[in-house]
Amino acid sequence: MARVVCPGSFDPVTNGHLDVIARAAALHDEVIVAVLINITKKSLFSTDERVEMLREVTKGLENVRVERFHGLLVNFCTANGINGIVKGLRAVSDFEYEMQMAQMNYRLAKIETLFVTTNPQYSFLSSSLVKEIATYGGDVEGLVPEPVLGRLRARLAEA
Ligand code: PNS
């Protein structure tokens, strides 16, 4: 059985992430979306909120489940019988860092990384840009799934 992981911070999940997850799900038996529990990096949404949002927006994808992880991704892969890591590649600027991580993960645990080239519609999209634009009142409709849009507006209104 081909079980792969789509790892990330997902703070918050964007339509670009969702596109990569759906495409990974079409090609593999099972996809685990693994949300990084990052205690050092300040996030807009808590790990629980990020997991909840991901579960909501992926509920139509039957072979996708959402989990959280901390520490090394390869340890999560080994513990969960995961054969590969699927990442979205947006632009040349992503390439160098992604290649470094892919090669390191292979060296650490012989885990392969597969890249999905991002839909050009989303090649400029990132969670950090979404947060920045939304913080200053810009329109992020169409960039994040509808339930995330609601949560984003509510969170920023609290600030
Ligand atoms: O969405 P992000 O923040 O770009 O995702 C980065 C992520 C979570 C995939 C990466 O930072 C990661 O795998 N972190 C876990 C720690 C780890 O395994 N580090 C070694 C990578 S070679």
Tokens 């038996």 appear where? Answer: 29
Nearest residue to 11 (alpha-carbon basis) of 53, 65, 50: 50
Q: What local confidence, expressed as pLDDT, does residue 138 receive? A: 92
Convert 56-85 to b/e letters by CB count within 10 Å (16 or more is b): ebbeebeebebeebeeebbebbeeeebbbb
CA–CA distance, 53 with 47 (Å, rounded to integer) = 10
Q: Which residue's structure tokens are 């992926």?
A: 58
Q: Which of 5, 9, 10, 13 to mutate to test the pocket of ligand 1 (most atoms within 8 A of CB)?
A: 9
Atom of ligand 1 nearest to the CA of 108: 22
Provide the annotated active-site residues: 17, 41, 90, 127
Q: What is the pLDDT of residue 91?
A: 85
**Distance from residue 73's CA to the centre of ligand 1 (Å):** 7
φ, ψ for residue 33 (rounded to 5)? -90, 120
Please identify, by atom number, the ligand 1 atom nearest to the C-alpha of residue 104.
22
Q: Give the integer Cα–Cα distance in Å for 25 and 6.
A: 10
101 lines ligand 1 (CB under 6 A): yes
Q: Whose CA is nearest to atom 12 of ligand 1?
A: 73
- For the chain, 159 residues long, give each residue's pLDDT as a single digit of tens: 899 999 999 999 999 999 999 999 999 999 999 999 987 778 999 999 999 999 999 999 999 999 999 999 999 999 999 999 999 999 888 999 999 999 999 999 999 999 999 999 999 999 999 999 999 989 999 999 999 999 999 998 887
Pocket flag, ligand 1, residue 109 (CB < 6 Å): no
pLDDT given at position 41: 77
* Contact predicate 76/108, CB 8 Å: no
How many domains is the chain built from?
1
Protein residue with its CA nearest to atom 2 in ligand 1:
8
CATH number of the structural domain spanning residue 79:
3.40.50.620
Spatial contact of 29 and 63, defined as CB atoms under 8 Å apart: yes
CA of 38 to the centre of ligand 1 (A): 10
Instruction: Show the domain range for 81.
Output: 3-158
pTM value? 0.96
